[in-house]
Structure 1
Amino acid sequence: MPVWLDRSTFLTGLVVAVVGFFSSFPILLQGINQMGASPSQAASALMAAALAMGLAGIGLSLWQRMPISVAWSTPGAALLAVTAPDAAGFAGAVAAFLVAGLLTMIAGLWKPLTRATTMVPAPVAHAMLAGILLSICARPVLAAVEIPQYALPIIATWFIVSRFNRLFATPAAVLVMGAVIIWANGGTWPLPDYVLTAPEFVAPVFSWGGVMGIALPLFVVTMATQNVPGIAVLRAERYDPSPGPSIAAVGGFSVLSAPFGAPATCLAAITAAMCASPDAHPDPEQRYLAAVWAGLFYCLFGIFAGVITAFTAVAPAMVLPTLAGVALFGVFVGSASAAMADPSGREAAALTFVITASGVSFLGLGGAVWGLIAGSLVWMLRSRG
């Protein structure tokens, strides 16, 4: 049997794609919708994001012969979900996505920018992410009160399955959400006019506010919570990836997919660990094939993204936010714990968390940017004192 038809790498790739796609597409759609995307633009964005991470993962894995898993930026999508839309609407957001992708490319090619990004204190970065996620993770609580007949089955499924296997908790909740939507629509399964998703080009409209309020925080949160940990996971598994070219590559795919609505493509951490585990293949040199298979399945899911967006578009209000909230709860717990772990940095982390979670907007900058600035300043003052 050819090596690329190995059963373990095929199954690992399939599991990785199911977990990676269905655990986070509700968050991506929340962020895209918040930025003002139309239904057709949302479908195009989901398709472009899936194709970008699929093709990037295939290319990087084949090139470096390592299990390099790629994802869309889930923390970045969560940031978009709580950020005020650009004055130019979705066209302004697309421009910000392009700038964030360009910054990622430069960070991979120009080491000073990479170092500048990694200089953001880890507790401050984690606190910023926790502040972003707070309001999202609170939505299932609100939904449980307002629409208990829809929200409680999703919440209960996630909680029960997570006791046994956290990776499959959200995909299981997605299935229940599907049943809830069919039930709410009288037992019918809504489908779009066309099964295959059509890409929709969005001409970007650049603005200073979009760069500072959307692009910069999207770049920072993606680098700090996705790209840097993604490299660290592979090194922990005794692989030696090329950090600069890998980061530049995902930045390039971000630039290519941004005009079709995709926010950010990045290196993955959790799914990279799955591809790099012995379960993927006994021989470490063959595990890259698991990432290749995952990329192929991501592309397949992306082609049918229109079906997914059409299905979720008819969901009762707060159903999709409920799923997004439970899906990100574990990330919130991890970020909040990491932010407060170091006693010397708790004040800076707490300040970052409070300002970010407040959702304040001033001078065109959102709470995430102000939280990052204030927390970093306090961290520096404490360090020098």
Structure 2
Amino acid sequence: MSTPPPSSSPSSSHLPRRVRQEGAPDAHLPRKVREREGGPREGIGRQVAAGVVGAVTGYASSFTVVLTGLAAVGATPAQAASGLVVMCALQGVLAIALSWRTRIPVSFAWSTPGAAVLVAAGAGGVTFPEAVGAFLLCGALVVLTGAWPALSRLVTRVPAPLSGALLAGVLLPLCLAPVTAVAREPLAGGAVVVVWLVLRRLAAAWAVPAALVVALVLTLTIDGGAGAATSGTSGLGWAPVLTWTTPQLDPLVLLSIGVPLYLVTMASQNVPGLAVLRGAGYPDPPARAALVGSGGGTLVGAPFGVHALNLAALSAAIMAGPDVHPDPRRRWPAAVTGGVAYLGLAALSTAAAALVSSAPPLLVQAVAGLALLGAFLGGLASAVQEGQPAEHRTAALLAFLVVASGVSVAGIGSAVWGLLAGALCYAWLRPRTAPEGGRR
């Protein structure tokens, strides 16, 4: 994302340095500037509102995807709830610490597409301790990417069509869940989809949370609450729980889950997250600190169910945009507020997991699929976008088909085979550059 042109509103380049110093009181600003930017109370109000809205919408729109992904790789309701609690807590701590230190609104999130990787890998009979080992590998690779520039350059050299195809192929099975839900449960599945569609038109940010509420209400009313009483909550209560899982390092699982989880997290979360910050007026975001912090957080939280942490993209746009404050240097409190909000959400996460576990898995997967439609569309558009050479689109299409097939060969999942097939096709079809002077 390119940096937008300078705004016509007053900025540090138009005012004396002594007036626009960091922390200078608004009373020292010219009257027109004060009227344009609003007083201190108005600025604080917008910062707090942006932080809370960014955290709540980011959480509500995708936590069902996380629970679905963790359950797919064998997590019990208690283990999945533990992962949700620790992810929220780590996201809050990282956002507060890095935003306060850098005075840049840096926000963090869990890897929603990464959770879809877990759904795709769940068909291979992976145990949760083995999946935790893959989480550790993902975290270590993210830390290494931040600390070692050579690896960062290597990741950015993966062609955009291939990374988009990998993302779209991983998300496709879960994005088809709403169709399956409507076919098998026309009343419940249809109600979820209709409510989502209506809210997409009226208030898009709340479409997925509203669909989840409908699924929960139908669960409690259609069967008189019997479904909730007999659901697999395993005695899950309302207070936050932490559950330790000792990791197991299986080479095939590390390759099938750990590597795709890392690539999807980098390509669809960290890279866009940095682009959002640059586009919001921060040309030099703390990329290294953010990668090392999110990767380190994944390493610390993996035994408690954390699959992958990364830079936020959607919520970052809410907390770092000009609506928070015209001066980019005064937006960082929004991310700090968002971090505090995530700490509050951590306390509520076990209760949220208990509610979701009371709903039929098919309806939960349908809501998760609806939440991922935007990411799927973005990945597919990147894979086959106009202007790409035909050989790039062919390689991306092959990668997409192999990944979406869900095949597992020699214990290695389709995500790895799809990326390998696409890379080989890309290398084979890429035109060769003739040496200078022509053939001899």
State the TM bucket, normalised to the shorter chain.
over 0.9
- Residue in structure 2 matched with residue 128 of structure 1 by the alignment: 166
Q: Is the 8 A contact 1:4 1:289 kept in 2?
A: no
- SS of alignment partner, residue 251 of structure 1: helix
Of the candidates 218, 232, 236, which is equivalent to residue 275 of structure 2?
A: 232
Pair 273,88 (structure 1): closer, same or farther in 2 beyond 3 Å: closer
Pair 206,50 (structure 1): closer, same or farther in 2 beyond 3 Å: same
Pair 47,10 (structure 1): closer, same or farther in 2 beyond 3 Å: same
How many angstroms does 1:363 deviate by? Answer: 2.1
Pair 88,146 (structure 1): closer, same or farther in 2 beyond 3 Å: closer
1:335 corresponds to 2:407: no
Pair 95,54 (structure 1): closer, same or farther in 2 beyond 3 Å: same
Q: Is the 8 A contact 2:106 2:332 kept in 1?
A: yes
Distance 2:323 2:355 in 1: 34
- Residue in structure 2 matched with residue 113 of structure 1 by the alignment: 151
Q: Is the 8 A contact 1:8 1:281 kept in 2?
A: yes
- Residue in structure 1 matched with residue 300 of structure 2 by the alignment: 256
- SS of alignment partner, residue 430 of structure 2: helix
Q: Superposition pairs for residues 144-223 of structure 1, below 5 Å?
A: 144-186=182-224, 194-223=237-266
- SS of alignment partner, residue 306 of structure 1: helix
Distance 1:377 1:150 in 2: 44
Distance 1:70 1:20 in 2: 10
Letter paired with 1:351:
L
Q: Is the 8 A contact 2:78 2:236 kept in 1?
A: no
Distance 2:176 2:125 in 1: 27
Distance 2:380 2:395 in 1: 13
Letter paired with 1:257:
G
How many angstroms does 1:326 deviate by? Answer: 0.9
- SS of alignment partner, residue 84 of structure 1: helix
Letter paired with 2:255:
M
- SS of alignment partner, residue 304 of structure 1: helix
Q: How many residues align?
A: 385
1:355 corresponds to 2:402: yes
Pair 86,99 (structure 1): closer, same or farther in 2 beyond 3 Å: farther
1:128-179 CA-partner distances (Å, limit 9, x unpaired): 1111111111111111011122111211111111123322221222222232
How many angstroms does 1:92 deviate by? Answer: 0.8
- Residue in structure 2 matched with residue 303 of structure 1 by the alignment: 347
Distance 1:232 1:380 in 2: 28
How many angstroms does 1:317 deviate by? Answer: 3.7
Q: Superposition pairs for residues 51-70 of structure 1, below 5 Å?
A: 51-70=89-108
1:160-219 CA-partner distances (Å, limit 9, x unpaired): 111233222212222222322322452588796642211111111111012101111101
Distance 2:130 2:124 in 1: 5
- Residue in structure 1 matched with residue 413 of structure 2 by the alignment: 366
Pair 44,149 (structure 1): closer, same or farther in 2 beyond 3 Å: same
Pair 88,138 (structure 1): closer, same or farther in 2 beyond 3 Å: closer
Work out which of the two has the higher radius of gyration on C-alpha atoms and give 1 or 2. 2
Q: Is the 8 A contact 1:137 1:328 kept in 2?
A: yes
- Residue in structure 1 matched with residue 423 of structure 2 by the alignment: 376
- SS of alignment partner, residue 109 of structure 2: strand
1:246 corresponds to 2:293: no
Amino-acid identity (%): 39
Q: TM-score of the superposition, structure 2-length normalised?
A: 0.83
Letter paired with 2:272:
P
Distance 2:220 2:92 in 1: 29
Runs of 4+ in 1 over 4 A off after TM superposition: 1-5, 85-88, 187-193
- SS of alignment partner, residue 266 of structure 1: strand
Of the candidates 309, 316, 319, which is equivalent to residue 265 of structure 1?
A: 309
Distance 1:132 1:168 in 2: 24
Moved more, 332-341 or 256-265: 332-341
How many angstroms does 1:4 deviate by? Answer: 11
1:43 corresponds to 2:81: yes
Letter paired with 2:398:
L
- SS of alignment partner, residue 83 of structure 1: helix
Letter paired with 2:214:
V
Distance 2:43 2:126 in 1: 48
Distance 1:317 1:81 in 2: 12
How many angstroms does 1:86 deviate by? Answer: 7.0
Letter paired with 1:283:
D
Distance 1:114 1:38 in 2: 35
How many angstroms does 1:126 deviate by? Answer: 0.5
1:278 corresponds to 2:322: yes
Letter paired with 1:151:
G
Moved more, 354-363 or 177-186: 177-186
- Residue in structure 1 matched with residue 36 of structure 2 by the alignment: none
Letter paired with 2:239:
L
Q: Is the 8 A contact 1:50 1:302 kept in 2?
A: yes
Pair 279,201 (structure 1): closer, same or farther in 2 beyond 3 Å: same
Q: TM-score of the superposition, structure 1-length normalised?
A: 0.95
Q: Is the 8 A contact 2:77 2:236 kept in 1?
A: no
Distance 2:42 2:185 in 1: 47
Letter paired with 1:83:
A
Letter paired with 2:336:
V
Distance 2:152 2:236 in 1: 45
How many angstroms does 1:251 deviate by? Answer: 0.4
Structure 1: runs of 5 or more not aligned: none
How many angstroms does 1:5 deviate by? Answer: 8.6
